[in-house]
Amino acid sequence: MANAMVTVTNAVKRFKVRQTEANVAEHQNGIMVALDNVSLEVKTGELICLLGPSGCGKTTLLRMVAGLLNADEGEIRVAGDLVEAPRKDACMVFQDFGLLPWRTVMDNVEFPLEIDNVPKAERRDTANHYLSVVGLNGFEGHYPHELSGGMQQRVGIARALMRKPILLLMDEPFGALDAQTREQLQEDFLKIWANLKTTVLFVTHSIDESLILADRIVVFTPRPGQIKRLMESPVAKYRVEAGDVRSHPEFVAARSEIRSLLRKV
């Protein structure tokens, strides 16, 4: 318990939905259960993937940990504190990058420290540092629409690192990218993470991505979202040095195991 960064205890989340004939069996009284009694403990410094099909509640869980949604039942703690609102040392990377289109790369990356009223010179130095961490030197003056998707998400990652967060919340961050860019970002992100050793909660629907990145993988069932299995990644120990664990025999075995887990309803 002492080294748990995130603890989720019996969390339940329900949403109101419009009742139609098609969904009457699934949603009783116009209520859809997105998360059904989920408990999870994320260790400090680990990279954990929430894996499941769309609609399984993995993003809902992430948003609850982020403090953007409240649990209907149960409780969520980050670093021992009950989560009631977004906390400044838990930063988010969005699926659609979430950049402010009227701001340059530099101004986007500075945003969190601007919110904290950090002096201009100091936040510029910090931003320059993290822009070089994500490999975007020379693009400070560009606008988001002038960058490729991969570069925009690098901006998103740099912005999330600005406060040296104790927890990084990533909501399918590479889901909108093409296959090659996605692989490159996975590789680069692993290196960044290996240096920072911050705790990462990473939502994905890709089995490969979860095996490439995670220490542990939380496999979700489809609606109502429950945890089907919590497994250690068998290839976690090779991932940073090897760079590409895809060809590892244990990767192939683990992938088919997870695939059959996701198929069984």
Residues that bind another protein (CB under 8 A): 66, 68, 85-88, 91-92, 94, 96, 98, 100-102, 111-112, 114-115, 143, 145-146
- Residue whose CB is less far from another protein, 115 or 242: 115
Q: Which residues pair with 157 in a beta bridge?
A: none
Least CB distance from residue 53 to another protein, whole Å? 22
- Residue whose CB is less far from another protein, 143 or 238: 143
- Residue whose CB is less far from another protein, 18 or 145: 145
Question: Residue 161 is encoded by which pair of tokens?
Answer: 């690192």
Least CB distance from residue 122 to another protein, whole Å? 17
Secondary structure, 3-state, 85-138: CCCCCEEEECCCCCCCCCCCHHHHHHHHHHHCCCCHHHHHHHHHHHHHHCCCCC
Q: For Cα atoms 217, 148, 245, give the angle at the middle one, nearest 5 degrees.
A: 30
- Residue whose CB is less far from another protein, 93 or 245: 93
- Residue whose CB is less far from another protein, 74 or 149: 149
Question: Residue 225 is encoded by which pair of tokens?
Answer: 């979202």
Q: Are 166 and 199 in contact (CB under 8 A)?
A: yes
Phi-psi region of 6 (alpha: psi -120 to 50; beta: other; left: phi over 0): beta
- Residue whose CB is less far from another protein, 120 or 191: 120
- Residue whose CB is less far from another protein, 116 or 232: 116
Least CB distance from residue 163 to another protein, whole Å? 9
Residue among 172, 174, 194, 176 at smallest CA distance from 184: 174
For 188, residues 6+ apart whose C-beta sits below 8 A from its C-beta are 134, 135, 154
Q: Are 116 and 195 in contact (CB under 8 A)?
A: no
- Residue whose CB is less far from another protein, 28 or 70: 70
String of DSSP letters for 170-227: EESTTTTS-HHHHHHHHHHHHHHHHHH--EEEEEES-HHHHHHH-SEEEEEPSSSB-E
Question: Residue 140 is encoded by which pair of tokens?
Answer: 């400070």
